[in-house]
A and B are shown apart, each in its own frame.
Chain A
Amino acid sequence: MHKSALKQMAGVEPLPQKVMDRITLIRYADANHILGQMASAVIPEKDSRLEDIFRNARLRAEHDHRMLQFEMNRLEHALVGTGIEPIILKGGAYVALGRKASKGRRVSDLDILVSEDELEEVEARLKLAGWAADEATDNPYDQAYYRHHMHELPPLRHQKRGTVIDVHHLLLPKTAKSKIDVTTMRQSSVFLEGKRLKVFDNVDLFIHSAVHAFADGAIDTPARSLVELFMLYEELPERDAARLPARANEVGASTPVSIALWAIGRFFDVKNSTVHSKQMMGLKRYLVLRWAITSKTHDGPLAPLAKAFLYVRSHYLRMPLRLLIPHLARKAASWRPNSQKPIELPVP
C-alpha cells in the first residue's frame, strides 16, 4: 500500500490521478471497511462514477446507523427503572455524538460499559427484552471463559432482530497485564442529550480508541483504527489534546495513547501529535511494535512477519501463559475444517 493511501482515504491528500491507482485505493478501502469514511471525507465530482461508488458506501453506513440508534433506544427501554446508566462505547458513541469518525462508518454491534456489580441485572434485563446468548459462544466452555477471564459478557444476540450487544465492565480482559482505570473514566462520562445513556468525555473517547487499537488484539484492521484515531484527534479541541498525556497516565493508558499519537503523526503528518508522543515516550521505545504497525498497515514484503509478531503480542497482552496454553489447546482440539456456517444469501 502506498504511503499516502491513508491520507488520501481520510481526505487529507487528493486522490491519485491514475485510474488504476484510484481503483486500487478504493479496493483497499473497501476491503478494510473504511470506504464509507473515505466517501464522507472525500468530495467527488458531481455525477461521476466515484460519486456513485461513494453513494453505495454511504447508504450501507446509513443503514448501520439507523440500526444502532434503534438498538440504543431498545437498550434504554430494557433498562428502564433499574437506575443503570450504561456508557455507549466506540462506534455507538461516535454515531450518537455525530462525530466525524462516525461519518460513513460501518457498525455491526453495540458495545456498552457498566460496572461489574450491574452485570447480572443488565444481562437479566436484556434477556427479558429478547436478547439471548449468541449461538457461536453458547456452550459451557465459552460462557465460563468469558465470565471468568474476559472484560465482557459473552455476546448477546437479539432473537428477532439478530443484532449483537457486548456488555463490558472493563476495557481490557481481566487477565490482561495492563489495567485501565475504568472507574476514573466512568466518573467523567457525560449523558447523551435527553437519554439515560452516557458516553466517555472527549479525551477518554480518544483514550479508549487507542486502548482498543494498541492494547488489545492483533491490530487486525490497522487502516480502520488509524483513520478513526486521526479523526477523533482532529476534532479534539487544543485544550483537550494538551490534557491527553496526563489523563492517559492517570488511567493507566500511557503506552497505547503514546503509540496512537505516534501513529497519527507518522501516518497523517500531524505535528502536534508527534510532539506529544515524544513527550510521552522516549524515541527509542517500542521500536519493534512501531515497525510492525507500519509494516502491517502498508502491507509490505515483511507484513507476514509483522502480523505474526502482533498476533503473538496480542495473546501475550491478553493473558498469562498458564491460561493461554490450555485455552489454545482447547480451541485447537475443537477446530474442524469448514466448521464455519456458510452465509445465506438472498441471491439468485
Chain B
Amino acid sequence: MKKLTSLFQLLVRSQLGPLAALMVIVILFALADMSWGSGNFLTWRNLRVISSTASLIAVPAMGMTLIIIAGGIDLSAGTALTLSGTVLATLLKNSSVSVDEAGFANNMLIALAATLLTGCLCGFINGGLISLTHVVPFIVTLGTMTIFLGIGQIIAKESTVYAPPEHQPDWLQNLCYTGSRVEKYEMIAYVPSSAIVAVVLALLVACLLRYTVFGRNIFAMGSSPSTARLCGINVAWTTLVVYALAGFFVAVGGLLYFADVKNGNPSDGTGKELEIIAAVVLGGGSLSGGRGSVLGTLVGALIIVVIRNGCGLLQIPNTYTHIIIGGIIIIAVIVDQLRHGSPEWLFRMLPRNRTSVET
C-alpha cells in the first residue's frame, strides 16, 4: 500500500504526469479498438495521422506556452492563425506564375515571409497593447480575436481562398502528408514533415525556456510581475517579445493549417484558440502564470488528438467526443492542483502526501 502511494506521488508530482495520462489514454483506446473497433488505432498510418494532426495544435501551442508561463493568455491565437493561413493562400492564389515557371521561388519566399510577418505582427499588436495600456490580456486578445477575424475576412473577400495546386510547391503540399507513398515524405521516410517541424520548434522553445536569461525572466514574470520588476527585468519589453514570438508560432501553425486543408478560411480559426490553450493546460501550464512546459504542451496536444481520433475510429459521435475532451481537461486541472497541493479535501483522503507548509 505504501509503495502504491509513493508511486502515485511520483506520478502526480513529477513532470511525467501528463505523459502517464497520455499512455493510459492510448492503452484504453487500443484495447477498446481491438475489442469493438476496426483495429486500425495502433497502425502506423493512424499514428502518422495522429502526429500530424497534433502538430497542427502543438506548434501554435508552443507560443501559447510562452504566453501562459509569462502569466498571460492569447484568445486571438485561433483567428491570427487562420489570418496567416489566409494571407498565404491569397498570395499563392494571386501568384503570377505557377510552380514550374521562373520567378516562382521568389513569389513563394515573399508569401512565406508575409505569412510569418502577419503572425508576428498580430502578436506584436497584442503584446504592445497589453504593455502600453495594462488592460488584462484576456480582454485585449478578446478584442483582437474578432479584429483579426474581420481582417481575414476582408482579405478573403468573405469567402474561402482556394490556392490552385499548381501554385503550391511540393514541399508545401506534402507538409502534412500522412499517406503511404514514401516519396511524398520530404524529410524522413514515413514521418510527417509537420511532426518534424513541431518537434524541432519544441526543442528550440525548450532550450529558450531553460537555458536563456529571457526564458528564466518569463518564468519570473509569470510567477510574480512585481518581483520581476524588483529584479530589474523589463516587464513591458519582455511581454512584447513574448507575444510577438508567440505570433511567430501562430504563423507557422497557419502554414501547417494551409498545408493541411489547402485553402484559407478566416472563420475556421474561431474555437482553435481554445484547443491551443487546452493543450497547454493539459500539459501542466498554469493560467495564473509561472508554470508550464514544452514537453507537457506536446503531450497535451497529443491527448486531445488521440481522444478525438480514437473516438472517431470507435464511431463515437462527435458530440460525445466534445464531452469527453471537456471532462479530461477538468480532470487534468484537478490533478494539476493536486500536484501543487491546493485542494485540501483530496489531501485529507491521501495520508502522507505533503511536507509541512509552516508560516
A binds B: no
B residues at A contact (CB < 8 Å)? none
A residues at B contact (CB < 8 Å)? none
